[in-house]
Amino acid sequence: DARVTQTPRHKVTEMGQEVTMRCQPILGHNTVFWYRQTMMQGLELLAYFRNRAPLDDSGMPKDRFSAEMPDATLATLKIQPSEPRDSAVYFCASGLGTGVDTQYFGPGTRLTVL
Amino acid sequence: AQSVTQLGSHVSVSEGALVLLRCNYSSSVPPYLFWYVQYPNQGLQLLLKYTTGATLVKGINGFEAEFKKSETSFHLTKPSAHMSDAAEYFCAVSDSTGNQFYFGTGTSLTVIP
């Protein structure tokens, strides 16, 4: 049963530290999404890639966040420096890149910035 | 431009009662519509989706939704709520390219025993 995997599942860090979250999309999927979920803001799209190229990262704070796909099997989301307001659950999802396609979500990374 | 509105951020129903979660969309082109469910401490998973054809779509766990173009709605229903249905439900809309898509703000469903 193919699944999106995310590491780490939980991360506690101190303000100012760098945080890197990793996502392995389902093999064969060419679109990868990064979302952030908080109680206050709900589910927010941060960025998404198709065929490893960024299509939209307008939801991402550019000064501290960066997203990359070094290869087709790995997507990364980096925060540097981290701030307490970045505390959230970060989800990665993958799909086949068409309008009718389902997004398959990973289990999320729960980030706490102290 | 597209957007999704979910009416009611919290819905409570008694076990065995009808579940109705509302979703309205705005779209300048024929949309593709989705319902996702999120159980506690998990990612979202697809319940059902409408692409073309039959407007009544059946999904997993006994849920179904009807696409009503005249009302721009895609409400989610289940005839009889089960305790295991307690979760957060998200409506989403996409265009044909997948380049424009939006999730609603979610509706939290509570099932009362």
A39: phi > 0 → left, psi -120 to 50 → alpha, else beta; which? Answer: alpha
Q: Do B46 and A107 touch (CB under 8 A)?
A: no
Task: Give B1's pLDDT tier (boundaries 50, 70, 90).
Answer: low
Give the per-residue pLDDT at A40: 87
With beta carbons under 8 A apart, name residues in chain A contacting B96. 98-100
Neighbours of A51 (CB within 10 A): 11
Q: Give the SS3 label for residue B61.
A: helix
Nearest to B106 among A42, A97, A100 (CB): A42
pLDDT in tens, A60-79: 988 999 999 999 999 999 99
Is residue B38 over pLDDT 70?
yes
Averaged over B69-90, what is the pLDDT?
96
Is residue B3 over pLDDT 90?
no
Backbone angles phi, psi at B84, to 5 degrees: -70, -5
Averaged over B10-38, what is the pLDDT?
92
Q: Which two tokens stand for residue B25?
A: 């969309």
List, in order, residues 6 or more apart from A61 with CB less than 8 Å away. Answer: none
Give the per-residue pLDDT at B99: 76
Task: Give A23's pLDDT tier (boundaries 50, 70, 90).
Answer: very high
Please identify among residues 66-95 of chain A the ones whose CB lies closer than 8 Å to any CB of chain B.
Answer: 91, 93, 95
Rounded Cα distance, B55 and B29, in Å = 16
Is residue A19 over pLDDT 90?
yes
Rounded Cα distance, A35 and A59, in Å = 9
pLDDT in tens, A26-57: 999 999 999 999 988 889 999 999 999 998 88
Give the per-residue pLDDT at A67: 96
Q: Which two tokens stand for residue A81?
A: 């420096």
